[in-house]
Structure 1
């Protein structure tokens, strides 16, 4: 109900459960990344592209916006849970938030490599592929920014207590 603070025990239990849920959501992204890494490992060069070009192309599929959206639930749950926890953040919650941000930042790097690979191909530049990767990079940047805001406690009443 508006205006009524939940009991500390109730909030602590909610924070604990949301932290577990966040890790489960992050597990979905881990699974997808590992699936793509296995595909990258098995790529051979073809007569049209080198093995390196093919590997970058396969890895860059994680940068497509529909695939990158799998990271959003973990980031959202982590950020909301950090604000609910206030200064009583658990190490598991901190790690969840930072690993989620780290994955998003890493995926921005993958997007840059993919754009460079697409732009340097022989023949016409495939702008559709570049725009898709830029869209994914935008989502990844938003995820990283959300995690950073939550980590700093911007907008939370107790932000000074966590960093004191």
Structure 2
């Protein structure tokens, strides 16, 4: 189960929109990618001060804390979907409004160090889940947000989603060249 290289998802494993995330990850060993991102993100995040974590690059955009809160919530969501499908539940799962979630999280009131600790714990839980999946569970399918997914695609979406937001942080929130994961 662990050390299983599951391979890259095929186009039939998720709706086209989600390949904006999946295509960011070109390594067939998704466990190694998730592990590497954990280290890289914590290292990068450790260089951001508590004050800097409140920065917004525009008035109507999320703060760095809100971005991290969104990353944490969304990773939980993708892994819950993977759990649901891997365990054989057939009922479709609802959609997720990211702006409602960020608004409800009051992320700017939580110290930056706690956001990073939450990321660490969430990612470790993600890794534990995927490392313990039986081989046949990776290709199980389900519906969420009216879209089809395989468990394998959801693992790649989680990694690609973090990669996407790391790039946004690097491009819009930080100085050039200081992007995590």
Structure 1-normalised TM-score?
0.32
Bigger Rg over Cα: 1
Q: Please identify which structure carries the higher strand content.
A: 2
Q: Please identify which structure carries the higher helix content.
A: 1
